[in-house]
Structure 1
Amino acid sequence: MKLIDLLIIKLSNKNGMLSILFSLFFFLIGTAQQLQPYLTQALENNPEIKAFELRYETAREKVQEVGMLPETQFGAGYFLSEPETRTGPQQYKLSVQQMIPWFGTITARKNYASSLADAQYVEIATVQRQLLLNVAENYYRLYAIRAKQRVLEENIDLLEAYEQLALTSLEVNQASAVDVLRLQMRKNQLQERFENFDEEFKAEQAAFNTLLNTERGATIEVFDSLAVPQEDPVQLPEVPQIHPELLRFDKLYESVEEAETLNRKEALPDMGFGVDYVSVGEATAMEAPDSGKDILMPMVSITIPIFGNKYKSVTRQNELKQRELNAQRENRHNELVSRLEAAVSNRTKARISYQTQMLNLQQAKDAEEILMRNYETGTIDFNDVLDVQELQLSFQLNLIEAVKNYYQASANINYLSDNSE
């Protein structure tokens, strides 16, 4: 087989490399299905999510706690010096009392505790969404590393073909030993980059598996290629008012409202009901009617909050807290809008870079074909070969980076705009 034919075979294998480029015009239907199991696993296993779920369960249990009446008070006393009464000496005393908050106070406490639990639940939604975003971004980084390694492998094969071509040209004095050495050094550089990508993949793999709460070295199935769609959605995304990061402030605002309702209830009197029982002995000094008759005395008490400035201060604090939450919500909304605009801009820039790299790659391929035709006439310049190969590799790596940036930006847009474009 002629060496030119060998090179053509190598270049046809390069079409395997170019297949990455051509297949980038199409979405792979299996992409979402391949990522979905990891997203599900992260939601099920991530310890941070479990911690927030337990915190929510604790907050829900608090509702039951505050819904109880105050503890019943029991008392007992023994008269060391028995006071003598007309009916006999008092020996000991037993008492029981139950305080009851004003009507609706317990309900207000439960509503307040429930509103705090609702705020915790929104926190879970926020953490879950952030986790899914982190998993997706990490996954696209893993994809980019593997795609770059495939490109490097194919370029190494291509350099080997060029090396064989240079050795043949050296035999007929159409190339120098320096040309062969430069090709070999260039191949060594690509091999080094390939091995560095291996280490980078291991680090990203460990981080990815940490998000999934699984073994750090667990195998990750990364799809072979991704495509940038021909068009982006025409409608610009917006940050919804019901975004979990904003809904959290709404729930906290509602909890402050419930806290104020509870404060007003607690400013009202508390009622207490009870009974005292006194044991009376037989009278010894004289005979009397009802001698030794025990005493049973029903009791009613009331707690009046005379110093109401405390409750007025709490009301003022709640008003200030609501104003603070409104300001925080507005500030957070502005931050999310800025992040969304940046994500849309990054996605647009990624698309522009993608289209530019595709154009550059086609032109590099044309230049390569010209070099091959020159070889047929015996006038190949291996300096030009290396220059074109280096440019081509740079365009290929930049293309993969553009695809990764596009999908990471899309993941951020989905996180911020709550759409499924």
Structure 2
Amino acid sequence: MLCLGLRSAGFSQSLEEYLKVAAENNPELKAYFNDYLAALEKVPQAGALPDPELSMGFFIQPMERFMGNQQADIQLMQMFPWFGILKTQKDEAGKMALARYELFQEAKYRLYYQVKSSWYQLYKLEEEIRITKENLDILRQYERLALIRFQTSGTQAGPASGSSTRPEASSMSSNSPVPSTASMGGMSAGVSSSTSGKTGSKTGSSMGTSASMSGGGSGMTDVLRVRIQIKELENTLALLEDSRQPIKAEFNLWLNRDPNEQINIADSLSASLVSWERQVLLDSITQNNPMLKMLDAEEQVYEVQKKMSLLEGRPMLGAGVNYMPFTPRPDNGMNMAGNDMVMPMVKLTIPIYRKKYNALQKEAELKQLAVQQRKENTVNQLTTQWYAALRDLEDARRRTKLYSEQTDLARQTLSLLMTSYATDGRDFEDVLAVQQQLLDYQLKLITSIIDQHITIAGLENLAATELN
């Protein structure tokens, strides 16, 4: 069984509403739907009889006939196709409309995928901005902590006795604005400073001078290091915030609305597992994919056309009437005034030129073969995409687990390093390196979660169904 599906607790309804708006407003999707409606209108056209033919001829000089003078010749004829042709033509038009409908379905699910993908990318961007801001705040707290240690190291080096050093250390540990892990280390720093203060009172001012040279220099280096990272992170944050508008505009334009319109984004995405057997999922794709259904409809169209080529080689029948009006004509002192003549007529076409009908039959067979080959190729492509999507989904799942564990380990490491730094001022470079790793793991964790959502949206697009 393959575990598929990521859903958020509180965004589904909002996203479903966006999909509904996109389906109603997207101009490309409406164009495909109108193409389908236009194809439906061909069905009654294909099932209609040919128009009746009316021909009228009037004599400028009446034609003298035995029964009188003929004034005109009027014919009305209706042709009738061979039995079954009209029904077959309607069937062909219906299959062509079905192919148009499957094109509309393919466009709809492609639009759904694009809307979901844009929505997930916007959520990812907002999370990256939030995480970057949080890490920027933490780095600024590190900067204040490094400044306090730098100032404290200088103050400790000044007085010769340890009694004046202890209040400074106590003030740093209780009042400095540092993260929770650092404040625990700050308490340890106060104890360590008190101890070092007592030792300093015994060793004299020479030890204070040495502390000033070593601790002060390294403290200022720590401040500069953290400021470098702050500058880099501020630049990254500015780039992320500049990226918000293009993604927002793209999402709104899929819905065919104002690019600046507000978009509701979920507070968090939580995973919920949906179990799908691999082969069942592949069967769903090969049975429900709109492109395959469209090719199936085209294959049926050409099957009908093969039947049509046989029927078109049959005669067409026509039935009508010929009406000839007469006026009296004097002849040898007698008025020849015959009645108007009405003559029923029958017409029959004789399809004796068989080459074109044989060619129609061959054309339909070759087109049907081409569609079958195209369908086979499409199945191969969909299967390849299915394998790739499963690989990407499994990779995203592994990365989510990995970066979640790495994030926890980085936080634990950072807590220990902050305690060590707050105690004796060492390993500040390691603190910054681990903080950068933590930021990297947090961003990669968000990326892996979004990759799972987008991959599942792609599978839903292939299968033309919701994987829930």
Q: What is the TM-score normalised by the length of structure 2?
A: 0.80
Unaligned runs of 5+ in 2: 1-5, 154-214
Q: Which residue of 2 aligns with 1:414?
A: 460
2:237 to 175, 194, 201: 194
2:224 to 181, 187, 190: 181
Runs of 4+ aligned structure 1 residues displaced above 4 Å come to 287-290
Residue 59 of structure 1, CA deviation: 1.0
1:219 to 246, 255, 262: 262
Residue 228 of structure 1, CA deviation: 4.2
Superposition map of 1:94-243 within 5 A? 94-173=74-153, 174=215, 175-228=218-271, 233=275, 235-236=277-278, 237-238=281-282, 239-243=285-289
Larger Rg: 2
Superposition map of 1:9-408 within 5 A? 28-173=8-153, 174=215, 175-228=218-271, 233=275, 235-236=277-278, 237-238=281-282, 239-286=285-332, 291-408=337-454
Unaligned runs of 5+ in 1: 1-25
Per the alignment, do residues 100 and 284 of structure 1 end up closer, same or farther by CA in structure 2, a change over 3 Å counting? same
For the residue of structure 2 that corresponds to 1:97, the secondary structure is strand
In structure 1, how many angstroms separate the alpha carbons of the residues matched to 2:58 and 2:422?
Answer: 120
Q: What is the TM-score normalised by the length of structure 1?
A: 0.89
Contact 1:140/1:408 (8 A) holds in 2: yes
Residue 325 of structure 1, CA deviation: 0.9
Contact 1:66/1:106 (8 A) holds in 2: yes
Residue 163 of structure 1, CA deviation: 0.9
In structure 1, how many angstroms separate the alpha carbons of the residues matched to 2:68 and 2:16?
Answer: 85
Residue 292 of structure 1, CA deviation: 4.4
253-262 or 315-324: which moved more?
A: 253-262
Contact 2:321/2:344 (8 A) holds in 1: yes
For the residue of structure 1 that corresponds to 2:330, the secondary structure is coil
Contact 1:228/1:351 (8 A) holds in 2: no
Residue 349 of structure 1, CA deviation: 0.7
Letter aligned with residue 386 of structure 2: L
**Bigger relative contact order, structure 1 or 2, given CA contacts below 8 A and separation 6+?**
2
Contact 2:329/2:336 (8 A) holds in 1: no
In structure 1, how many angstroms separate the alpha carbons of the residues matched to 2:11 and 2:395?
Answer: 22
In structure 1, how many angstroms separate the alpha carbons of the residues matched to 2:85 and 2:66?
Answer: 45
Letter aligned with residue 420 of structure 1: L
In structure 2, how many angstroms separate the alpha carbons of the residues matched to 1:365 and 1:242?
Answer: 46
Residue 350 of structure 1, CA deviation: 0.8
Letter aligned with residue 404 of structure 2: M
Letter aligned with residue 41 of structure 2: E
In structure 1, how many angstroms separate the alpha carbons of the residues matched to 2:116 and 2:141?
Answer: 38
Alignment deviations for residues 386-405 of structure 1 (CA, whole Å, 9 cap, x no partner): 21111111111111111111
Contact 1:63/1:114 (8 A) holds in 2: yes
- What is the percentage of aligned positions where both structures have the same residue? 31
Alignment deviations for residues 73-111 of structure 1 (CA, whole Å, 9 cap, x no partner): 112212234332222232222221111112222111111
In structure 1, how many angstroms separate the alpha carbons of the residues matched to 2:256 and 2:126?
Answer: 22
Letter aligned with residue 301 of structure 2: S
In structure 2, how many angstroms separate the alpha carbons of the residues matched to 1:180 and 1:328?
Answer: 65
